[in-house]
Protein backbone atom coordinates (compact mmCIF):
# COMPACT_ATOMS: atom_id res chain seq x y z
CA UNK A 1 0.00 0.00 0.00
CA UNK A 2 2.69 2.47 0.95
CA UNK A 3 4.79 1.83 -2.16
CA UNK A 4 1.73 2.47 -4.33
CA UNK A 5 0.96 5.72 -2.49
CA UNK A 6 4.53 6.95 -2.97
CA UNK A 7 4.28 6.49 -6.74
CA UNK A 8 0.98 8.38 -6.98
CA UNK A 9 0.86 12.15 -7.39
CA UNK A 10 -0.44 14.40 -4.59
CA UNK A 11 -3.76 14.60 -6.46
CA UNK A 12 -4.66 11.21 -4.97
CA UNK A 13 -3.57 12.21 -1.48
CA UNK A 14 -7.17 12.23 -0.22
CA UNK A 15 -7.77 8.66 -1.43
CA UNK A 16 -4.58 7.40 0.21
CA UNK A 17 -5.62 9.07 3.47
CA UNK A 18 -8.88 7.13 3.41
CA UNK A 19 -6.99 3.91 2.72
CA UNK A 20 -4.68 4.61 5.66
CA UNK A 21 -7.64 5.22 7.98
CA UNK A 22 -9.31 1.98 6.89
CA UNK A 23 -6.00 0.15 7.34
CA UNK A 24 -5.59 1.60 10.85
CA UNK A 25 -9.16 0.71 11.85
CA UNK A 26 -8.62 -2.84 10.60
CA UNK A 27 -5.51 -3.16 12.81
CA UNK A 28 -7.37 -1.82 15.86
CA UNK A 29 -10.25 -4.24 15.31
CA UNK A 30 -7.78 -7.12 14.92
CA UNK A 31 -6.06 -6.22 18.20
CA UNK A 32 -9.45 -6.11 19.97
CA UNK A 33 -10.27 -9.60 18.69
CA UNK A 34 -6.89 -10.98 19.80
CA UNK A 35 -7.50 -9.69 23.32
| Per-residue pLDDT tens digits for 2-35 | 555 555 555 566 667 888 889 999 999 999 998 7
Query: Comparing C-alpha atoms, which of 25, 29, 28, 22 is closest to residue 1?
Result: 22
pLDDT at residue number 18: 81
Q: How many Cα neighbours within 13 Å face the side chain of 2?
A: 1
Cα distances (angstroms) measured from residue 4 to each of 20, 25, 33, 34? 12, 20, 29, 29
pLDDT at residue number 33: 93
pLDDT at residue number 30: 93
Query: What is the residue extent of each domain of the chain?
Result: 2-34
Residue count of the chain: 35
Say if residues 1 and 19 touch (Cβ distance below 8 Å).
Answer: yes
pTM of the full predicted structure? 0.49
Amino acid sequence: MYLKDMSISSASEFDSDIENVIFYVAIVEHIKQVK
